[in-house]
Structure 1
């Protein structure tokens, strides 16, 4: 089992408590006392599993990213199905980045990045870059099947462009309007627009 998913029940309890405290208060304002009280364990138990607040925050971030990306990892390329693949990628990614937890986590990480750049870097690698790696693999298969043509660009560049296009407007809007929630229809309409634009750029000419 990965470090992001501890097998010990007390470690999982601490991680769940830390997740709640960090998302409510941010990293700087959160204290070990808050986390210990939320978890219902002693401070020594917290430190036995997570020696520093930074290590605990990293564990929370990586566990959340692992949970979010599990849906992406189940997506597979099917021959003659690149449009359906892109729709699935776009909708799944939007469901991730627009979830209340992901938006709250993103706000915390952006706010803390100047003080704790390593924390932000770990999130970037475990979240956005992991999604792009998964999309790169899938889009490479579509290109190998002759369904996409990147025109000399790499599959990674195309995947990065797609990911940025997908999350751009809606993520920006809901990061700055925390009281609002997107509808299913809104998400699907934006996904449709992103797929249309991407295919206009990279669909292979038949």
Structure 2
């Protein structure tokens, strides 16, 4: 049985430990080849305990995507966390989003969600909600406040900005046309391994 600091993990702590272990198993072998046996072994717990927390592999996978969302949003933060100037704040926010989405483990997570979609249709929607919908909402809220736009106009502007500054590189990395970022994103919202100049040009042209 898994232990931390000499004491047995229980409840929510064990559930989170299982999810972190399951995330690694899914990334290493894919959705179809991953088994509840492998997850239990990686987590150092019993299958009985695993099934007590997650009654099926499908539900475990969707819970892993919820965990990915939590971890990702903690690293992404909000535009206002990056700079006082709105153009620079949006530039760095979009750059950070690109950095996170083109980081190698996140690229594998996206591919994993796509590969599971026929067996588990909710997985693609869950991944989109985790990685895109939440980001669009944060950016749209910031734009609405700074530029006095209604929610629909702010969302349209957010989607346009991300489409023009982020998604092309994300698709190239997903298709192996460009290498993924290997260095893990830091916790301090620093934007690394991203060319900010073209992002800044687009954001400046749209918002200035």
Which structure 2 residue ranges, 5 or more long, are not aligned?
A: 1-9, 184-190
Matching residue of 2:203: 198
Matching residue of 1:180: 179
Contact map agreement 1:91 1:188 (CA 8 A) in 2? yes
Matching residue of 1:102: 106
Equivalences for residues 1-80 of structure 1 within 5 A? 8-76=12-80
Q: Structure 1 pair 62/162, CA: closer, same or farther in 2 (3 Å)?
A: same
Contact map agreement 1:91 1:187 (CA 8 A) in 2? no
Greater shift, 38-47 or 177-186, is seen at 177-186
Distance 2:26 2:117 in 1: 14
Matching residue of 1:171: 170
Equivalences for residues 122-133 of structure 1 within 5 A? 122-133=126-137
Distance 2:177 2:14 in 1: 32
The number of equivalent residue pairs is 191
Q: How far did 1:73 drift?
A: 2.9
Distance 1:120 1:182 in 2: 22
Q: How far did 1:192 drift?
A: 2.4
Equivalences for residues 113-128 of structure 1 within 5 A? 113-128=117-132
Q: Structure 1 pair 172/72, CA: closer, same or farther in 2 (3 Å)?
A: same
SS at match of 1:127: helix
Q: Structure 1 pair 102/80, CA: closer, same or farther in 2 (3 Å)?
A: closer
Contact map agreement 2:83 2:89 (CA 8 A) in 1? no
Which structure 1 residue ranges, 5 or more long, are not aligned?
A: 1-5
Q: Structure 1 pair 55/160, CA: closer, same or farther in 2 (3 Å)?
A: same
Q: How far did 1:157 drift?
A: 0.5
Scaled by the length of structure 1, what TM-score is found?
0.81
